[in-house]
Amino acid sequence: MKKYGKYIRALAFILGLILIVEAMDFAFGQVGEIRWKFINVNKKDSNYDTVILGDSHTKCAIDPNIIDEEAGLNSVNMAINGATVKDMYYILLESCRNNDIKNVVLDVDYLYWMSPQEEGTFNECFVYNQLPASSYVRYKYILDNLNKLDIRNVIAHRTSYSFATSTVKNNISLKLNSDFWNGTIFATNQTKESSCNSGKGYMPVADTCVTNDMEAELCAYDFLSTTTIADCRINYFEKIEEYCDENEINLICITSPITPTSYECLCYEQVNETMEAFFENENVTYYDFNLLKEDVLDRTKDDYVDNEGHMGITLSKEYSTFLGEFLDTVISEDDVDTSIFYENIDEASEDLNNGE
């Protein structure tokens, strides 16, 4: 026994380390809608057949309930604020873990496709941090990113830590609540009166919730006029493509329409040309709904809560209705009526912004 004493002490020490990490994760690690979305998509009775991937634009723009009604699907909105193409690959894998997914609708946001991106930054793995410990996707992420992942993000949920006293108090009270363990929507700090309580990941923004984002700040994104798509995005998009091909999943890439008054400032004509050329080269179905005609989806600056392109609830419902019908056509492999699109962004801008 004496011989093994030092080994027992060493094991006890390591156990102590694990307990400390768990305690720190519990107190400091923030959880929210990302965790809830992962729990929700893997619920036993979910049976989703369509997953919608994207970021904050998608999260408030596409209502799966309406999509399901129009297209006869069972869809889930897995859009996450700030999710990159890399994140979307792992979100897709996680969504497919307990669902027989037949369709993927990937919403392409110019900000996350055409901005310079450095892979391997510390906070890059904020989505991976919320994957459940029981999911193989979590370990696949670690294996795929062995040379990029900081050790602190593997042994703990470090990237989600916040040390503000109020946040710590909130974390602890949230995690002691049954809502957290049951994975209900209220575990995301949503109020019971919230309109996003559909279990489908759609989180609309009230039309009146106009944010104070200045046009000048938006126009600082002028890198979009010169930048091409970063290699790591192409790399992960091709992984998504490959996964869909192997699993006979229908991959449909779209871009939800953004605030029309921002087209000029963002050099969106060039963005549209770059994205269309890219998807054509990849031989993937792509529709930029910024080219949707006004009579198909009437939209103005006032339908958005900011210049960047977050839709208000009213427009998002109309858009979801249109999108549902459109997806029904695409999935059924019927011919898409191209007359609903403008020729180019300049034409769209002129028509939509007429009088502005």
Q: Residue 271 CB, nearest distance to other proteins (Å)?
A: 26
Q: Which region among 4-12, 126-134, 277-285, 339-347 touches other proteins (by CB under 8 A)?
A: 4-12
Q: Which region among 154-162, 195-203, 271-279, 341-349 touches other proteins (by CB under 8 A)?
A: 154-162
Residue of the chain from 8, 11, 18, 155 that contacts other proteins (CB under 8 A): 155
Q: Residue 34 CB, nearest distance to other proteins (Å)?
A: 18
Q: Residue 13 CB, nearest distance to other proteins (Å)?
A: 6
Alpha helices in 29-120 (DSSP H): 33-41, 56-61, 64-71, 85-96, 110-114
Closest to other proteins by CB, 163 or 333: 163
Residues within window 96-135 making contact with other proteins, judged by CB under 8 A: 118, 121-123
Closest to other proteins by CB, 13 or 223: 13
Task: Give the full edge-to-edge strand order of the sheet including 285-288.
Answer: 75-77, 50-53, 103-107, 250-255, 285-288
3-class DSSP state of 271: helix
Return all residues near 118 (Cβ < 8 A) that are at least 6 apart.
Answer: none
> For other proteins, how many residues bind (rule: CB under 8 A)?
30
Return all residues near 91 (Cβ < 8 A) that are at least 6 apart.
Answer: 51, 53, 78, 80, 83, 127
Closest CA to 241 of 230, 254, 251: 251
Closest to other proteins by CB, 43 or 152: 152
Site string for other proteins, 165-204 (x = CB under 8 A): ----------------------------------------
Residue 268 sits at φ, ψ, to 5 deg, of: -65, -25
Q: Which region among 153-161, 179-187, 274-282, 304-312 touches other proteins (by CB under 8 A)?
A: 153-161
**How many residues belong to the chain?**
356
Per CB under 8 A, 1 contacts other proteins: no
Residue of the chain from 39, 98, 132, 154 that contacts other proteins (CB under 8 A): 154
Q: Residue 230 CB, nearest distance to other proteins (Å)?
A: 16
Q: Residue 9 CB, nearest distance to other proteins (Å)?
A: 7
Distance CA 125, CA 145 (A): 10
Distances from the Cα of 90 to the Cα of 153, 160, 245, angstroms: 16, 18, 16
Residue of the chain from 59, 86, 158, 310 that contacts other proteins (CB under 8 A): 158
Residue of the chain from 31, 71, 149, 230 that contacts other proteins (CB under 8 A): 149
Distance CA 308, CA 258 (A): 7
Residue of the chain from 39, 142, 210, 296 that contacts other proteins (CB under 8 A): 142
Distance CA 163, CA 166 (A): 8
Contact assessment for residue 76 and residue 52, using Cβ atoms and an 8 Å cutoff: yes
Return all residues near 88 (Cβ < 8 A) that are at least 6 apart.
Answer: 53, 54, 106, 236, 240
Contact assessment for residue 227 and residue 260, using Cβ atoms and an 8 Å cutoff: no
Residues within window 6-65 making contact with other proteins, judged by CB under 8 A: 6-7, 9-10, 13, 16-17, 20-21, 24, 28
Distance CA 172, CA 293 (A): 49
Site residues, other proteins (CB under 8 A):
6-7, 9-10, 13, 16-17, 20-21, 24, 28, 118, 121-123, 142, 146-152, 154-156, 158-159, 161, 163
